[in-house]
Amino acid sequence: MKLLNLLLEIYKKEYDLNLKEGLTKTINIGKTLNILEKKYLSKFIFTKSKNSFYIKTFNTNINTLLNGIIKDANNLGWFPSFMETEEYTGKWDKTYFKEGEIKLRFEAKFDEEIIEKIPKILYHITPTQNVDKILKIGLVPKSRSKASYHPDRVYLSKGLEDIENLGEMFYQKTGIKNWTILKINTDLVPGDYLRLYTDPNYTSGFYTLNNIPPQAIEKIKEINF
């Protein structure tokens, strides 16, 4: 109990800090576009979709993007997730662009829907080489093996079959052959710290922005593609 109480205090402080810093809110897409278009309409072509928006320009540079619309979008709770240039198409990576024509897709940092009833058991898949570290320090949000770039997310599945399918997709994208499925017992995450969000790009599960402590994690299956 002493360890659990200590972990609860650590995680509670982190969670409260996030709330104070306003890190769990995204301004709705309509209001965001109104703000950005007023400032950048002469520089970018804006296109809205259901859960994201696009900007396109025929002549800009990386510093202008980073210090301008990307910075302002970030302050509104949106981030660049996908990019198209003459030389590269894929998840956002500023090292692939210097200047010229570019199209960017922006997605919400935090989806509006929060899961109120958290399942007792969830699953996560990771390259086998990461397992020992995860069992020591827990799951820490980051962005890897995703079709688009999402900052600070741990993806979790509701079912074993769904997470196996996700592993096959990751294998096809990364070429990594050895994967391990981890079972998460959410009852062992201290207090009410764990928050789950839905992602329109991942309908078979959820994501969390929180660390998941090692005592809640169990290795259950290895998959070799």
**Are the CB atoms for 73 and 88 separated by under 8 Å?**
no
Quote the CA–CA distance of 20 and 138 in Å, as a whole number.
25
The SS3 call for residue 61 is: strand
- The whole-number pLDDT of residue 152 equals 67
pLDDT in tens, 94-108: 999 999 999 999 988
Whole-Å CA distances, 196 to 13, 118, 172, 180, 208: 18, 7, 27, 22, 5
Quote the CA–CA distance of 211 and 81 in Å, as a whole number.
22
- The whole-number pLDDT of residue 121 equals 95
Paired residues of 219 in beta bridges: 182
pLDDT in tens, 43-82: 999 999 877 899 999 999 999 999 999 999 988 889 999 9
Q: Provide the whole-model pTM.
A: 0.57
pLDDT averaged over 10-residue windows placed end to end, the chain, 225 residues: 42 40 68 92 90 92 92 90 92 91 90 74 94 92 50 83 89 91 93 77 81 94 92
**Are the CB atoms for 114 and 196 separated by under 8 Å?**
yes
DSSP 8-state assignment for residue 103: E
Question: Rounded to the nearest 5°, which phi and psi values hold at 172?
Answer: -65, -30
Residue with tokens 């799951």: 139
